[in-house]
Chains A and B, each alone.
With several copies, the nearest count.
Chain A
Amino acid sequence: MRPFTALLAVALTVALLFLVIPVAAIFANTAPSDLIHSLGDASARDALRLSLETSLIALAVIVLVGTPTAYLLATRRFRGRSVAITLIELPLVLPPAVAGIALLASLGPQGIFGGHGPQLVLTTAGVVVALTFVSAPFYIRQAQESFAAVDPRLMEASRTLGAGEARTFWQVAVPVARAGLLAGGALALGRALGEFGATLMFAGSFRGVTQTVPLAIYERFATDFTGALALSAVLVAISGALLASVKLAGRRAFA
């Protein structure tokens, strides 16, 4: 191997070791029996169900609103566009707990709706709101890049072939950008499944209602450290499988 390639390989090895060893440690400290035991626990199962439900609903909301948003930002030039992009990115750098407080201050009983808005705080709906808030920027960012990478002439071709803007969006832009949209969706779903701080602040932690897996893990730290690690391992495995399968689906998009 030439020296430069060796250098690159060293960097990759260092990065991989550093990023993988801690994740591996979770599994190393979890006996298979712990895993099974943690899944046998009713409150763990409740948390898993709730996590999957709320994350998937949040993902649906994000995709529904975020996709046209990203398309608009990617394909039109207008005043304030780059301000809008920066604003959408801001939640990315918010500490999750601050995000939770921000949600509480704005959508809580003392927020813009006063006491008359939808009941979000400490409800399952609130979990969805918190997950949506912290995960949406991941999807929108990626979706915007994917739409921007679609050759604009494909969309123009669609127009000259008699398709209006809406049909062009559905039948050309979305299928062509599909791989990127899937990747963005996976990232957002992964972030939602791991969300802790904002959920706790905004929605609290109540078994079966607002206690998602990360909150359940946290609650177990004090009393059931092994159980907490086992539940973490389950979460990592689910998230990893998710990332990998989406990557596969994306690769098949054009096969």
Chain B
Amino acid sequence: GANDAHLTVSAAASLKQAFTAYQANDRYSFAGSDQLAAQIRAGARPDVFAAANTKLPDDLYAAGLVEKPKVFATNRLVMAVQPDSKIDALGDLGRPGVKIAMGSPDVPVGSYTRQVLGGLGPKLREAIMGNVRSNEPDVAGVVGKVTQGAVDAGFVYITDVRAANGRLKAVELPPPLEPQVAYAAAVVKGTKHPEAARRFVDGLPGASALSDAGFGRP
């Protein structure tokens, strides 16, 4: 029956562990949220789209490609450094010679990061931006650069640090600066399993798989 239908779900890379635990039988494609959105714009039709922000699903909704998005989880933006790193505060990133990777302005993690930096004084902000060495198109790129030592620090989600199994250490951001990181999901229009898809999206908020992976409730 419709209950057993395998859904195809395009989801932000950072949702990988949580979603596979949430409904193991569905088909997931994990990649950068913007990539997945581009796919849908170009005609790809998964059943569900889950992004690492609310903007991308809202845009697709405005374009008439998905049903109304639903915020289902929150995440926290943190600084990721190597476990033995001496960097332990946002201010350290402004020191000369420190190398930083962040998401490009067009991807969710990048826009959150810029939001954070926007809250800093102009001097520190410019010092930090001057240390940026790469604008990665997805979180995986930032994580890769930090674990490989290509940069000294990067901005990622707390869930990514947790998934890295000790290869990364999280440095929390000052609470006033911490952005609201909300994840939204939407049923893609034209799905063959609208019922199952809606059930999938509706069941997400508060699912234990999400909180186990470190996501917050909306």
Same complex: yes
Interfacial residues, chain A to chain B (CB-CB below 8 A): 101, 104-105, 108-111, 121-122, 200-201, 203-211, 215, 218-225, 228
Q: Considering residues A101, A201, A203, A207, which has the most beta carbons from chain B within 10 angstroms of its beta carbon?
A: A201
Contact B44 A122 (CB under 8 A): yes
Contact A222 B39 (CB under 8 A): no
List of A residues within 8 angstroms of B160 by Cβ: 222-223
B17 interfacial contact with A, CB 8 Å = yes
Contact A222 B149 (CB under 8 A): no
The distance in angstroms between the C-alpha atoms of A221 and B45, with both chains bound, is 17
If A108-B149, A204-B101, A222-B37 touch, whether A121 touches B44 (CB-CB below 8 Å) is: yes
Closest A residue, CB atoms, query B141: A200
List of B residues within 8 angstroms of A101 by Cβ: 38, 42, 144, 148
Say which residue of B34, B35, B133 sits within 8 Å of A201 (CB atoms): B35
Contact A122 B163 (CB under 8 A): no
List of B residues within 8 angstroms of A105 by Cβ: 42-43, 148
List of A residues within 8 angstroms of B139 by Cβ: 222
Contact B165 A224 (CB under 8 A): yes
The distance in angstroms between the C-alpha atoms of A227 and B147, with both chains bound, is 14
Which residues between 20 and 65 of chain B lie within 8 Å of chain A, taking CB atoms?
27-35, 37-39, 41-46, 56
B197 interfacial contact with A, CB 8 Å = no
B171 interfacial contact with A, CB 8 Å = no
If A204-B136, A205-B136, A206-B134 touch, whether A221 touches B38 (CB-CB below 8 Å) is: yes
The distance in angstroms between the C-alpha atoms of A209 and B211, with both chains bound, is 28
Say which residue of B32, B46, B140, B164 sits within 8 Å of A122 (CB atoms): B46
B contact face: mostly helix, strand, loop, or mixed: mixed
- 23 inter-chain pairs at a CB distance below 8 angstroms, sorted by A residue, are A104-B44, A104-B150, A105-B43, A109-B43, A110-B42, A121-B39, A121-B43, A121-B150, A122-B29, A201-B39, A204-B10, A204-B29, A204-B133, A204-B134, A208-B27, A218-B140, A219-B16, A221-B34, A222-B13, A222-B107, A222-B140, A222-B144, A222-B160
Which residues between 149 and 184 of chain B lie within 8 Å of chain A, taking CB atoms?
149-151, 160, 163-165, 167
The distance in angstroms between the C-alpha atoms of A211 and B134, with both chains bound, is 9
B214 interfacial contact with A, CB 8 Å = no
If A122-B99, A205-B136 touch, whether A221 touches B144 (CB-CB below 8 Å) is: yes
Q: Considering residues B31, B38, B160, which has the most beta carbons from chain A within 10 angstroms of its beta carbon?
A: B38
The distance in angstroms between the C-alpha atoms of A111 and B137, with both chains bound, is 24
Contact B29 A225 (CB under 8 A): no
List of B residues within 8 angstroms of A228 by Cβ: 38
**Separation in Å of the A25 CB from the closest CB of chain B?**
10
The distance in angstroms between the C-alpha atoms of A71 and B183, with both chains bound, is 54
The distance in angstroms between the C-alpha atoms of A6 and B170, with both chains bound, is 52
